Every structure is written in C-alpha cells, then in structure tokens.
Structure 1
Amino acid sequence: MTSPTKDQTLAVVFVSNGPGELTTWVRPLAERLHRRLLMRPRAPGSLVSLRLVLVPCPNATGTEAAAASRWGLFDRITLARQFWLLLLKPSRFGSWPDRGVVVFLGGDQFWSVLLSARLGYRHITYAEWVARWPRWNDRIAAMAPTVRDQLPRRFRSRCRVVGDLMADLSSHAKEEAPLPSGEWVALLPGSKPAKLSVGVPFLLETADRLAAQRPGCRFLLPVAPTTSVEDLERYASCSNPIAASYDTDVASIEPARAGEGLRRLMTRNGTEIHLQENPPAHGALSQCKLALTTVGANTAELGALGVPMIVLVPTQHLGVMQAWDGWLGLLARLPGLRRLIGLLLSAWRLRNHGFMAWPNISAGRMVVPERVGPITPEQIALEAESWLATPERLQGQRDDLRGLRGEPGAVRALAEEVQGLLPLALSD
C-alpha cells in the first residue's frame, strides 16, 4: 500500500488562547470530533490531522500548550509565541496539507482569519456575542440568535445557531464520581498569575474564617490545567508580596485519604482544602453548594453547571488586577506605562463595564452577586455563611442559572458544522 500524498491529507486546526477556552470549548469539541472521525493522533494512520494553534493573548499563562498536550488529542500544537512565524513560514512547523479547516475557539477572531487565509483553508468561527469578520468566514456557529441577527443580511445564510458550548458541561459532569458527603464549598482563585497572586491568599484566609464559622464546611479547590499545586503554595507564601496582606499560609500538602482520591492542602490555621488535580473538575464542582470565584471563564463554567457563586474582585490590589481582554489589556502592559495605565484602565473598567460575571452579562441583570471593591476575607466568609444557612436562596440562584444555561447539544452541532466543511470523501 502506498503512502498518501500531500493532496490526500487534511488538517483540522483549532485556534484558541487561554485556559478557560481550552477546557470548556477546545477539549469537548476535540473529543467529539475524534468520536465522529478517524483523526491523528488517536488514529495514527488517518488522513486527517487534528492540530491546535495558540494565539497571542494577554490573559494566557504560557502553559496552555503543556496542558493541552497531556490530553493526547492533537497531532501538533503550535505555541502562541510562534504564531507570527507560523504565518510567515508555515513550513517551519512541519508539513501542512493543501486542504483543511480552521476553527476559531478563542482569542481575537482576526488571528483565525489570517491563519485560514495563509494556509488556504476553509474557516468557521464560534461566536459568543458577535461575528466580527463574516465576509471571510465560510461558516459561523453562533451561541445565540442575537449573533445571527447582528450580521448583514447577505451573510446570515452562513450562520447556524448551535447554542452555548458550556451547556453541555452539566450532562458530562453527571458521569463523574461523587464527592464524599458534606457541605462542599468550591474555591476558584483563577488560572492566570495576576488573579492567582490575589485569589490564592484571599480565598485561603476566607476558607479559614468560614471553617471557623461553619465547622461542617468542606472545601474543594480545582487546580487549573495551566497551574500546579506548587504554584498555589508559592502564591500563598512570602514570595508573593500580596500574601503579606492576609493571615494565611500553606502548612503542608497531605496525601489523599483512603477512598477519597484527593490530596489535601492544609492551611497554617488547620483548614483542610481538597485539591482536584484532574481537570476538568466539572463533576466535583457540580456537587458543591456554593463557589467563591474570581471573574473570568470560571463564572461561565459554574453557571453552566448550575453552581451558586459569589464573584470576587478585590480592588485593593488593582496594581496586579490587569488581566483584561483585548488591546486595552495589552496597552496596560507597555514598559514604563504599565503601572499608571494599568491602574487607570482597571479603575475605568470597574466603574463603567457593568456586569463582570458571565451569568450576569448573559442575563443582563444581577443573577449572581458580584463583590467589587476593597473587600476582605472576613466579609466574604460572613456572606458565604449567610448563603449556606439559607438553602432556599441557594436554590433560587441555582434555578436562575439553569434557566440561563440553554439546552445541551452545542458541541455536537458545532462538530457537525466542522465536519460539513471537510471534503465529502473524508467526512463520510
């Protein structure tokens, strides 16, 4: 049997950026496509290669490629810092088939437009709120009808409303093993350095205080795929200047108890925090009564799972809370202007951006509480105890979140759209 020629092979190329998108969009769609098609690397002799291209993003951690490689889903992964060189000379990064499909799944939509044009591939964009470049999209997969309605009429036929990719999280979460019995509270300090430097010490002290108020509480901290337990220890220690503002520290990391499977972080004050180190942690999170979380994609995940939450933005640390999106975030990082512009930018965003949690942005109203300001762990622990003491309030928020979630099936629908752009002989 002769080896396939270049013209017989095909690439499906995912374009994405940060840890939230990788976990909630990229991985589920990759898993679905591998079930629908024979693709490398899971099918070594396949004509179809599934690849991941990471793009420049101020919110990325730099460890996205390492996290994605552990999943064994991609035949090739291109780092964000290599993106411009990839555009200039694709052959530097191996052989690229003549035919392929570029799938936008996070970052700036223009990056995927450039890449599809450079490679000569067809192009589909998953659009949450707006499709910015419909002229250069073969297909648009919209989260909601409002995305389609914003398109010029001549491009609407290219758009299919597939739904919210997050809506599928809850159905997959049911398949995972239950947590040990107890009143579980999730702690989500973020996945990016700017958020972790504040979120880790803040939430560890909050857990200490909540444990003292409500001794039956048990704590779960999902370790993001781009983070490690060693990172958590570092952000809670004196090597993080912000940690000095909080009365907490990591005393030790203890092995899992028999039958539980989760290692435990012990704070200096004796609070036990279980570490979920096998992302995604959707099954474990879905069993929590309440979550304390920073802003970001984690609020969308929690909302999709129907987990009540309190969203935290401690503004006393604006100097490091610069993990904003887009060109404004890039401007805040310019040498010499970083601190001044970062402070002004962050303050402006907090005053004028409106809602910051994804469920509130989606609903256009306050569904989950957002605590923005010079908040303290003591205040948040008291508020969390109040929520836990009133199950009917928690159930009300849970019902609101489920009402926003939409029907599952978006991942399947998007996979159908991607497959529909493949040559017929390879998509059968």
Structure 2
Amino acid sequence: MTVNGPGEVCYSLRPFLEALQTMTREVRVWVFIPPCQFASGWEEKITRDLPLVEKVIDSRHIFRFLFLERVTFPTSGLVLFMGGDLFYAYRLKRKSGYSLWAYGVPPREIKKVDLFLVRFEKDFEHYPPNKRFLLGDLLQSLCLAPFENAQKFFELGRPRFLFLPGSRPLLYPYILPFYSEIASLLHREFYPQASFVLGFPEFLEPESLSALSIRVPPLLKPVWGHTSSLIEGSDLAIMVPGSVNLEVAYRGKKGVVVLPLWQGMEKVPLQGLWGLLDVLPFWSKIVKPRLVERLNRKIRWVSLPNRVFDAQIFPECRGRITAREVVIKVKEELERKGILGLPPIEKRVTWNAAELLAEKVCAFLKK
C-alpha cells in the first residue's frame, strides 16, 4: 500500500486495516510512504503501530527499494494506492507483478490502474465501466465507530469552540497565536461563558511542542488526540484545511476554515511540481509568497468538503485576514439556524467502506 500525508494514514489506511484484521490475520502488509510536501514527519511511527503491518518503507528508502534492491514477492498479492503519487504504486505493480487498485484517484492513467475504487458517488460515471467499483469514503467509516464522551475535555461553559491546528507542527508558530487572538475576541466580546479546546493530533505529545519551542496559548485548553470525540462534543470547529474538515462535515458539525497568509507563507506546502521548487535557493523567501497569494486568488475552495461537493459546506477565511474577520464569520455561522447538510447525492452512500474494501481484498487474494 502507498500512503503519503497524515490524512491518508489516519483516515484511510487505519480504518481499512482495522476492518481487515477482523476478517483475516494471514495477510502481510507492506506500507510505502513516498516523499510528500504535506507530510508531518510522524507517518512512519503511526503506521508501524497499525494492525497487520509487517514492513514500512519510508521516503528515505523507497527509491532504493523500487530501483536497486532485489525483492522476492509472495505469489499472491495486490498493490493498493491510498495516496501520494501514482508513480510509486505503478512502479510497485511493475516490480511485483501484482494488480493495482487505486482509491480516490481521478480517472486518468487508465492503462496503469486495474481497478478504480471510487470514493464519491457523484464521480462514478466518469470512470471506465470495466474498471470501476463504487467503494465510498473510508473516512466516513471512521465516523461510524463509537466515540467516547467529550464532556471531560470541554469546560462547563457554552458554546464549545474547537480549534484544530492541523498536523504540521512547522506551521504552529503562526497558527497558534492567531487562534489565541480569535479565542480572546470571542471570549471578551461575544461569548464570555464559552469553552475553548485546542485539539492536537494523537501522534503529538507535549514534549514534541517543547522540543520545537512552541507554547500553547493560555486561553486554549490543549487536548492530545481524541479528535473524533472533540468534534462530536463541539458546537463549532475552527480549522485549517485538511482531511479533518471532511470528518467535521460528516459529523454534521458547523465549522469555519481559516488559511492566514500574512506570515509563514514560505512554509505553506504546494502540490505537484510547485512543491519541488522548495529546494531552489531563495525560492521560499522571495518567489513562493507571491505564488501562494496568486494561487489563493485562483483556487475556488481550499476546504476538502467544499472542493468535493463544489459548494460552500464551510465558510472560508483566506489570505491576509484578521482575527476579527474570522470572529465575525464564526458568530454568523454559529447563530445560523439549522444543522450542517451535505448534498443529498452523498447521503445514499451510507455503508462501511472500510469493511467493504476489506471483504473485496480478501476475496481477491483467495482466488
């Protein structure tokens, strides 16, 4: 299997392997983590703790494995693409002789992929009939799992605001002070009885932030892990773009997505060939901030639910924004009547995609 950033590891790989473990313990799972500009640096550690994982090949060793090492593969197997560049999965296919299944990939590279595992029903008709299977969203499987009561994480006050800073500690020195300013304004001017929680990913610990000289703002109560429970217990989430946006949407919670671009723009990860330019001298400090601002004006949506459904599921505050602008948007969204509603076409996809994929993989390997 290939995965890249923390979103694929936590929201795709984990639910699939947990479902697969309930059906068989006779599979050998090798996970490849190609280079990725969105990586947090913790993908390998998280992956090694997942069930059924026998071997993890990280970005430092993947080229040696693919091009230099001689490897004896079992006679029966499958390459499963779950994220990253399809190039690595296709190279694994060529080296192993296995079939290649690709999850959540656009209907390109038809000759390279043996089966497209379609993530969203609205995209199904765009894939070749003989190479498509409507799987559904693996992230949605996570939302079907039971969660613990979030009462113990929030203070007694209401409303409950959840701040999600993402999985890249490199950006914390910029986003955490901004979150602190937002929380202070909300508390001082509109919601004096509110409770504020800062939800860090489960792979981070307080010592991790101390090592990076990052301090947690005083008004925000830090909670390490328990993201799903925190989302369920919150009234509104304030978050940076990422896979967690989609979990908030699936759980029917209100949210506002923020992408401040007034500092630290040289550390904003870019997709595709633009991401490779970070290795050029002076690129990050001189050219990249201008490109980031240009792309921000050009891109319609940055939040994953908004991009998936091409509609405003969550309001977005982007660019050279102020904390007050975000607070006004948060207040409007919180006081808006009704609950969050996804487009009806996706509400028909209610099955457990992780269990469905595990069953399909088991059936294929038994042939």
- The 5 A counterparts of 1:353-364 are 353-364=299-310
Opposite residue 66 of structure 1, the aligned amino acid is: K
Q: Distance in 2 between matches of 1:402 and 1:287?
A: 25
| Identical positions, percent | 23
Whether the 8 Å CA contact 1:295–1:313 is kept in 2: the answer is: yes
Tell me what 1:158 maps to: 131
Q: Which runs of 5+ in 1 are unaligned?
A: 1-13, 40-47, 238-248, 251-266
| Residue 15 of structure 1 pairs with residue 2 of structure 2 | yes
After TM superposition, give the deviation of residue 321 of structure 1 in Å. 4.5
Q: Distance in 1 between matches of 2:264 and 2:284?
A: 12
Moved beyond 6 Å, runs of 4+: none
Tell me what 2:361 maps to: 418
Check 1:290–1:185 CA distance in 2 against 1; reply closer, same or farther (3 A cut): same
Tell me what 2:11 maps to: 24
Whether the 8 Å CA contact 1:32–1:412 is kept in 2: the answer is: yes
Opposite residue 58 of structure 1, the aligned amino acid is: Q
Report the 3-state secondary structure (helix = DSSP H, G, I; strand = E; otherwise coil) of the residue aligned with 2:53.
Answer: coil
Tell me what 2:271 maps to: 325
Q: Distance in 2 between matches of 1:395 and 1:91?
A: 59
Check 1:135–1:74 CA distance in 2 against 1; reply closer, same or farther (3 A cut): same
Q: How does the TM-score come out when normalised to structure 2?
A: 0.88
After TM superposition, give the deviation of residue 28 of structure 1 in Å. 0.3
Tell me what 2:32 maps to: 53
Match of 2:63 among 69, 84, 102: 84
| Residue 36 of structure 1 pairs with residue 23 of structure 2 | yes
| Residue 69 of structure 1 pairs with residue 48 of structure 2 | yes
Tell me what 2:144 maps to: 171
Report the 3-state secondary structure (helix = DSSP H, G, I; strand = E; otherwise coil) of the residue aligned with 1:418.
Answer: helix
Check 1:282–1:411 CA distance in 2 against 1; reply closer, same or farther (3 A cut): same
Q: Distance in 2 between matches of 1:402 and 1:69?
A: 38
Check 1:287–1:402 CA distance in 2 against 1; reply closer, same or farther (3 A cut): farther
Give deviations 1:65-116, integer Å, cap 9, x for gaps: 0122233441111112211011023457xx6423311111111122111112
* Aligned pairs, number: 361
- The 5 A counterparts of 1:391-406 are 393=336, 395-396=338-339, 398-400=340-342, 404=346, 406=349
Tell me what 2:312 maps to: 366
Tell me what 1:99 maps to: 76
Check 1:228–1:178 CA distance in 2 against 1; reply closer, same or farther (3 A cut): closer
Report the 3-state secondary structure (helix = DSSP H, G, I; strand = E; otherwise coil) of the residue aligned with 1:323.
Answer: coil
Report the 3-state secondary structure (helix = DSSP H, G, I; strand = E; otherwise coil) of the residue aligned with 2:8.
Answer: helix
Tell me what 1:117 maps to: 94
| Residue 275 of structure 1 pairs with residue 262 of structure 2 | no
Opposite residue 110 of structure 2, the aligned amino acid is: P
Match of 1:286 among 219, 226, 232: 232
The structure with the larger Rg is 1
After TM superposition, give the deviation of residue 131 of structure 1 in Å. 3.2
Report the 3-state secondary structure (helix = DSSP H, G, I; strand = E; otherwise coil) of the residue aligned with 2:291.
Answer: helix
